[in-house]
A and B are shown apart, each in its own frame.
Chain A
Amino acid sequence: MTTTEGASLADGKAAAGIPGARRQGDAVAVSPARGRRRPRIASVVATLIMAILAAYFLLPLVWLLLAATKSTSDLFGSGAFTLAHFQLFQNIAELSTYNSGYFWSWYGNSVIYSGATALGSTLICALAGYALAKYRFRGQRIISTSIICSLVVPAAALAVPTFLLLTKVGLVNSYVGVILPGLPNAFGAYFLYTYIREAMPEELIDAGRVDGAGDWRIFFRIALPIIQPGVVTYLLISFIASWNNFFLPLLVLNDPSKFPLTLGLNNWLSLTSAASALGQPPYSQLVTGSLLSVLPMLVLFPLFRKQIAAGMATGSVK
């Protein structure tokens, strides 16, 4: 009974594009007429409830999309869900020059922070998870116990000492200072440890050894292709988490040119309440900037949804 199997089974069904494949398949097998006899009114009500809930989840995003096409005066003057004069591209152009044109540096920074954190964290967590799952060695117990215990310690408890540490070693206000603390992710190590334990057969490792392959060669050439689905899942989760990260950069950075998007947009938000030296409060820039920063996530999300969902289910149920 592995939940890994359960999750990948669910995943497989979703991948086949058959919603509720199991139950519908059964209905056909048991009695073909059953589907038609089911009260249609229940189906309509259920679909209606889901549609209303979908509206709750989608409408704020629709608002953002529409608001980003409006001028500041239309933003306040026209209906929230109506189109006014379309000037998305003019808004993007304004956004690009506003506040010394920081926006696109923030964008680039977010890509650097998330990319480096996701890749680095995945590599070190996969290596650690693999060693913990497939070797017996001294200190193993202490390491795995510490990882599990650390899962319940809220990150914010470490805020002040982490800041002091980075100050001491001169990493405050640097790219490395934002990336490094994000690498040793206990959830990542734990998730990949449980995944590798289930997904990687011992026989293949033994077979590799018989063929004379060294430990590292076995990891990179034999294990990695097999554990790839779990590794990619963590890579995606880690990328999204770093893209959304706010607290750590807030502690580490005060030079706006090094901000990620989340921190930059927070800066602009603070200008809406304070009397600003930059003139008019940047409502339109905030809305357009918010849209541009969620866009890659929203575009990529449908492609990766199954993988993320399967990974989360696996990681959480252990």
Chain B
Amino acid sequence: MGPRSKAPYLMVAPFVLLFVAFFVYPLVNAFVLSLQGRLAGQDQFVGLNNYVTALGDQAFWGSLGTVFAFAIVQAVTALLLGLVMALLLDSSLVRGSAFFRLTNFMPFAVPGVIATIMWGFLYSPQLNPLLQVLAPLNGGKQVNLLAGGNLVLLIANIVTWSAAGYFMTLYFSALTALPREMYEAAKLDGCNEFQLAIRVKVPALRPMILFTAILSVIGAMQLFNEPFLLHNLANVSASYTPNLYAYNQAFTYGNLNYAATLSFILALVTLVVSVVFFFVTSGESRRERRELRASRRASRPAPTPAASVAPRGV
């Protein structure tokens, strides 16, 4: 084999060149842009001025608050729903599990834009008769979901509808990969299906749950498509989410430098949130795993459960 072969360089070259052009360069350029301001028709260095402006910008803080609220609501519902479905499917209690594995995962293939249009129409009272049925409960007034202040919940529902089946699929695959001896041991100890799910399967899924939680939170903080589309049907402010705000700053108001600054801060906040989240929860899971090991030593030797799904550094 030729260790001095040119082949590996040529093989990575297309990826690396495009990666530099469309990732590294824009990233560096975003930072450079954020340090500049448009003065007298020219880009000039203004230091951290844009950052100072952003830190005092209530609209930006408001948009961050919105995505944090959204991230919590959305991540919790989608993860719980996915987890419950995967555990049910794995319990062998459910008839027709192959059918459900398909149907509940299906919304994943529906583009977010289409999902938003679809749900947007279902939220409007003219198109959804279920909402007309609810009218008497609302004092005879028409129930218009889109008019209320519950936009976070409406969007969380759209994203959960798309994502829950994806989480179900991930959890179910991980459960199927677990060593079956674990279940036999637990059953010998007198565990029923429910206890088995709560005491054995959920702890074993921990790394996967953690991974999907980080994924959800990162995704939630980038929220853009759904509010961007829904503003056609409902009252969505131009600074509803950080990305929507940055987009409008750039392409509605032409403040490219300020938009780059907002995006850069959002990227940093996202990074910090996911790192903190990772350390907090992995610290917890380390402790749990230690306890699990201890309790296993006390009962009977069993093959390592968590190891088979342990992430090799997320």
Not counting A153-B23, A301-B109, a sample of 10 additional A-B residue pairs whose C-beta atoms are within 8 angstroms of each other reads: A14-B101, A19-B92, A26-B180, A50-B97, A53-B100, A152-B274, A244-B113, A293-B111, A298-B110, A301-B102
Q: Would you call B1 and A206 a contact (CB within 8 A)?
A: yes
Interface residues of B in 39-87 (CB under 8 A from A): 81, 84-85
Interface residues of A in 131-176 (CB under 8 A from B): 131-132, 135-137, 140, 143, 146-147, 150, 152-165
* Chain B contact surface mostly: helix
Taking the closest CB of chain A, its distance from the CB of B254, in whole angstroms, is 11
> A201 an interface residue at 8 Å Cβ cutoff?
no
- Return 15 A-B CB contacts under 8 Å, by A number: A9-B177, A10-B173, A27-B92, A57-B103, A60-B115, A76-B126, A152-B274, A160-B260, A161-B30, A266-B113, A294-B109, A294-B110, A310-B173, A316-B212, A318-B312
Interface residues of A (CB under 8 A from B): 1, 3, 5-7, 9-10, 13-14, 17, 19-20, 22-24, 26-27, 30, 38, 42-43, 46-47, 49-51, 53-54, 56-58, 60-61, 63-64, 67, 75-76, 79-80, 123-125, 127-128, 130-132, 135-137, 140, 143, 146-147, 150, 152-165, 180-181, 183-184, 186, 189, 206, 209, 214-216, 219, 240, 243-244, 246-247, 261-262, 265-266, 269-270, 272-273, 283, 286-287, 290, 293-294, 297-298, 301-302, 305, 309-310, 312-313, 316-318
Contact of A294 among B114, B126, B173 (CB under 8 A): B114
Taking the closest CB of chain A, its distance from the CB of B14, in whole angstroms, is 4
Given contacts A161-B260, A318-B311, whether A43 and B174 have CB atoms under 8 Å apart is: no
Q: Would you call A247 and B225 a contact (CB within 8 A)?
A: yes
Q: Name the B residues within 8 Å of A316 (CB-CB).
A: 170, 208, 211-212, 215
Contact of B90 among A20, A183, A313 (CB under 8 A): A20
Given contacts A206-B1, A293-B114, whether A20 and B85 have CB atoms under 8 Å apart is: no
Q: Would you call A312 and B170 a contact (CB within 8 A)?
A: yes
Contact of B94 among A46, A266, A317 (CB under 8 A): A46
Q: Would you call B11 and A50 a contact (CB within 8 A)?
A: no
Q: Would you call A164 and B256 a contact (CB within 8 A)?
A: yes
- Find the residue from A137, A146, A273 having the highest chain B CB count within 10 A: A137
Q: Would you call B309 and A6 a contact (CB within 8 A)?
A: yes
Taking the closest CB of chain B, its distance from the CB of A169, in whole angstroms, is 9
Given contacts A23-B92, A79-B129, whether A157 and B30 have CB atoms under 8 Å apart is: yes
Taking the closest CB of chain B, its distance from the CB of A279, in whole angstroms, is 17
> B91 an interface residue at 8 Å Cβ cutoff?
yes
Given contacts A49-B88, A60-B118, whether A317 and B225 have CB atoms under 8 Å apart is: no
Across the interface, name the chain A residue whose C-beta is closest to B225: A246
Q: Would you call A209 and B1 a contact (CB within 8 A)?
A: yes
Q: Would you call A50 and B94 a contact (CB within 8 A)?
A: yes
Please report the C-alpha to C-alpha distance between residue A43 and residue B94 in the assembled complex, in whole angstroms.
6
> B89 an interface residue at 8 Å Cβ cutoff?
yes
Q: Name the A residues within 8 Å of B128 (CB-CB).
A: 80
> B165 an interface residue at 8 Å Cβ cutoff?
yes
Q: Would you call A309 and B169 a contact (CB within 8 A)?
A: yes
Please report the C-alpha to C-alpha distance between residue A158 and residue B266 in the assembled complex, in whole angstroms.
11
Q: Name the B residues within 8 Å of A246 (CB-CB).
A: 111-113, 225
Q: Would you call A189 and B267 a contact (CB within 8 A)?
A: no
Q: Name the A residues within 8 Å of B250 (CB-CB).
A: 159-160, 163
Q: Name the B residues within 8 Å of A5 (CB-CB).
A: 177
Taking the closest CB of chain A, its distance from the CB of B218, in whole angstroms, is 7
Interface residues of B in 182-218 (CB under 8 A from A): 183-184, 193, 207-208, 211-212, 215, 218
Q: Name the B residues within 8 Å of A125 (CB-CB).
A: 15
Taking the closest CB of chain B, its distance from the CB of A29, in whole angstroms, is 10
- Find the residue from B18, B85, B260 having the highest chain A CB count within 10 A: B18
Q: Would you call A270 and B232 a contact (CB within 8 A)?
A: yes
Contact of A9 among B91, B102, B121, B176 (CB under 8 A): B176
Across the interface, name the chain B residue whose C-beta is closest to A268: B117
Given contacts A58-B103, A124-B15, whether A162 and B22 have CB atoms under 8 Å apart is: yes
Q: Name the B residues within 8 Å of A42 (CB-CB).
A: 93, 193
Q: Would you call A50 and B88 a contact (CB within 8 A)?
A: yes
Contact of B122 among A7, A60, A272 (CB under 8 A): A60
Q: Would you call B93 and A63 a contact (CB within 8 A)?
A: no
Given contacts A153-B27, A156-B246, whether A63 and B118 have CB atoms under 8 Å apart is: yes
Q: Would you call B122 and A161 a contact (CB within 8 A)?
A: no
Stretch from B2-10, B148-156, B285-293 at the A interface? B2-10
Q: Would you call A1 and B308 a contact (CB within 8 A)?
A: yes
Q: Name the B residues within 8 Å of A158 (CB-CB).
A: 22-23, 26-27, 30, 263
Q: Name the B residues within 8 Å of A50 (CB-CB).
A: 85, 88-89, 94, 97, 100, 104
Q: Name the A residues within 8 Å of B270 (CB-CB).
A: 152, 154
Q: Name the B residues within 8 Å of A53 (CB-CB).
A: 81, 85, 100, 104
Contact of A47 among B96, B120, B274 (CB under 8 A): B96
Q: Would you call B12 and A127 a contact (CB within 8 A)?
A: yes
* Leading 6 A-B pairs by shortest Cβ distance: A6-B177, A215-B7, A313-B173, A128-B15, A161-B26, A135-B8
Given contacts A76-B127, A164-B256, A294-B110, whether A143 and B12 have CB atoms under 8 Å apart is: yes
Across the interface, name the chain B residue whose C-beta is closest to A150: B23
